[in-house]
């Protein structure tokens, strides 16, 4: 289900299906290109989105087909905002071991939230931990005449 | 009942003792794909007994942390088998992911395939 609002924001509700998550990422990537985001910015946003949506489906909803993921995003020329809510019990991001510590370097998971924080301007996990908001504020915005 | 043919995700070539692996996909993001790539990589060590493995990332534009997890597991398996895993041709965006996660310290990363082959 997809709803588009007058201010340009889009709301999507998807089942706990990784392919559906992939489609949402593709739609957002297309919108970022239409708004002239640079390739490097798109790389980082795409990576953060991938981590967030896969987390919601896999760890939040535990792949339960009856549960949904609610996504609301807004792409503007100078910023990208997204809210992702799953129907799981939530988690405390402070309990995730720091992936940069020597003893955690060889852990095969636990880098998702770290990557989101690196590539996005702001990342907030809201209690009880099943709702995430992220934004990317662009440092350099093309002037109207520069848009190609 | 017909079984669907398994899609090829890796291109594997032997250069002497070294097994060079090229990724077919430009984006290693999709979880199901990553799981299959992991199985194929692990079988090189566990079933085929390959000990010197070079992952060539020249085709790869994106990868997720789940993919990093598979490479970490592969590295452990190769080391347990007494072998060596090297990587090469990593593009600057992906290299940044390795650097910020400090995985550039865990993996041996070479500039290109020739340099990597000489480093075994």
The string of pLDDT tens digits covering residues A16-37 is 999 999 999 999 999 999 999 9
Q: Distance, in angstroms, between A54 CA and closest chain B CA?
A: 8
Q: CA quadruple A135, A79, B94, B97: dihedral positive or negative? A: negative
The CATH number of the domain covering residues in B10-119: 3.30.750.24
Euclidean distance between CA atoms B26 and A140, whole angstroms: 28
Q: Which of A40, A47, A108 sits opposite B64 (nearest CB)?
A: A47
Q: Choose among B30, B69, B102: nearest Cβ to A109.
A: B69
Count of CB atoms situated within 10 Å of the CB of B79: 12
Share of chain B above pLDDT 70, in %: 94
The answer to whether A71 touches A12, Cβ cutoff 8 Å, is: yes
Which two structure tokens, joined as six digits, stand for A73? 């995003």
Number of compact structural domains in chain A: 1
Interface A-B, measured as beta-carbon pairs within 8 A, has a size of 55
Domain, as residue range, for A117: 2-146
pLDDT digits (tens, 9 = 90+) for A92-111: 999 999 999 999 999 988 99
Cβ contact A125:A60 at 8 Å? no
Question: Is the minimum CB–CB distance between B80 and chain A shorter than 8 Å?
Answer: no
- CATH code for the domain in which residue A106 is found: 3.30.565.10
Strand order in the sheet with A2-4: A2-4, A10-15, A68-75, A79-85, A131-137, A122-126
């Amino acid at each position: 289900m997809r709803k588009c609002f007058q201010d340009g924001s889009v709301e999507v509700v998807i089942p706990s299906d990784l392919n559906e998550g992939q489609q949402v990422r593709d739609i957002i990537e297309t919108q970022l290109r239409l708004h002239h985001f640079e390739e490097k910015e798109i790389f980082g946003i795409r990576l953060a989105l991938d981590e967030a949506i896969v987390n919601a489906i896999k760890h939040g909803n535990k792949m339960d087909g009856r549960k949904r993921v609610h996504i609301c995003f807004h792409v503007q020329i100078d910023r990208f905002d997204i809210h992702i809510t799953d129907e799981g019990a939530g988690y405390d991001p402070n309990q995730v071991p720091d992936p940069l510590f020597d003893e955690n370097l060889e852990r095969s998971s636990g880098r998702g939230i770290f990557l989101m924080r690196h590539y996005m301007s702001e990342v907030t996990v809201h209690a009880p931990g099943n709702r995430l908001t992220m934004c990317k504020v662009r440092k350099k915005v093309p002037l109207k005449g520069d848009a190609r | 009942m017909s079984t669907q043919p398994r899609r090829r995700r890796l291109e594997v070539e032997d250069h002497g003792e070294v097994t060079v692996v090229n990724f077919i996909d430009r984006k290693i993001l999709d979880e199901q794909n990553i799981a299959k790539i992991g199985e194929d990589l692990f079988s090189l060590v566990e079933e085929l007994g390959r000990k010197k493995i070079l992952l060539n990332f020249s085709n790869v534009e994106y990868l997720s942390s789940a993919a990093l997890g598979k490479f970490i597991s592969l590295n452990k398996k190769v080391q347990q088998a007494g072998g060596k895993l090297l990587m090469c041709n990593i593009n600057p965006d992906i290299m940044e992911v390795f650097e910020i996660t400090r995985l550039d310290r865990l993996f041996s990363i070479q500039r290109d395939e020739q340099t990597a082959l000489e480093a075994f």
